[in-house]
Amino acid sequence: MRDYELSSKEIAELERSHRSLRDKRQADRVKAVLALSKDWSAAQIAEILLFDEKTTRHYFDRYQQGGLQALLEDNYSGAESRLDEHQMSELDAYLEEHILPDAKSVIAHIDNQYGVGYSVSGVTDLLHRLGFSYKKPTHVPGKQDPVKQQAFLGDYEQIKADKGENDPIYFTDATHPQHNSVPSYGWIKKGQEKELKANCGRQRLNINGAINIETLEPTTGFYDTINADSTMDLFSKIAAKHPKVQTIYIIVDNARYEHACLLKTYLDGTKIQLIFLPPYSPNLNLIERYWKFFKKKVMNNRYYETFDEFKQVCKHFFRKRKKYLPELQSLLTENFHIQAT
Please give the full DSSP string across 212-259, using - where no structure is assigned.
ETTT--EEEEEESS-SHHHHHHHHHHHHHT-TT-S-EEEEE---GGGG
pLDDT at residue 139, rounded to an integer: 63
Give the separation between CA 179 and CA 203, rounded to whole angstroms.
6
Residue 239 half-sphere exposure, CB side, CA atoms within 13 Å?
15
- Please give the pLDDT value at position 77: 46
Q: How far apart are CA 109 and CA 114, in angstroms?
A: 8
- pLDDT of 339 reads 65
- Beta strand 218-223 with 248-252 is unpaired
Backbone angles phi, psi at 297, to 5 degrees: -75, -35
What's the rounded Cα separation, in Å, for the pair 28 and 24? 6
- Give me the helices (H) in the chain, please: 8-20, 24-37, 42-49, 53-72, 85-97, 103-114, 120-129, 146-162, 228-240, 261-267, 286-299, 307-318, 321-331
Q: Is the CB of residue 116 less than 8 Å from the CB of residue 82?
A: yes
Determine whether 249 is exposed, middle or buried from the number of CB atoms within 10 Å of its CB (0-12, 13-18, 19+): buried
Distance CA 248, CA 242 (A): 8
CATH superfamily, with its number, for domain 146-183+198-331: Ribonuclease H-like superfamily/Ribonuclease H (3.30.420.10)
DSSP state of 300: B
d(CA 10, CA 18): 12
pLDDT of residue 79: 45
Pair 164, 246: CB distance under 8 Å: yes
Domain ranges of the chain: 1-78, 80-136, 146-183+198-331
**Among candidate residues 112, 266, 235, 88, the one with its CA nearest the CA of residue 168:** 235
Whether 266 and 232 have beta carbons less than 8 Å apart is answered as yes
Q: What is the pLDDT along the chain (341 residues), one digit of tens a residue?
A: 577 888 889 999 999 999 998 888 889 999 999 999 998 988 888 888 887 787 788 888 888 888 888 888 765 544 445 788 888 888 998 998 888 888 888 988 887 787 777 877 788 888 988 888 888 776 666 667 889 999 999 999 999 999 999 999 999 999 999 999 888 887 777 788 888 998 877 899 999 999 999 999 999 999 999 999 999 999 999 999 999 999 999 999 988 888 888 899 999 989 999 999 998 888 999 999 999 999 999 999 999 999 999 999 999 999 988 889 999 999 999 888 776 55
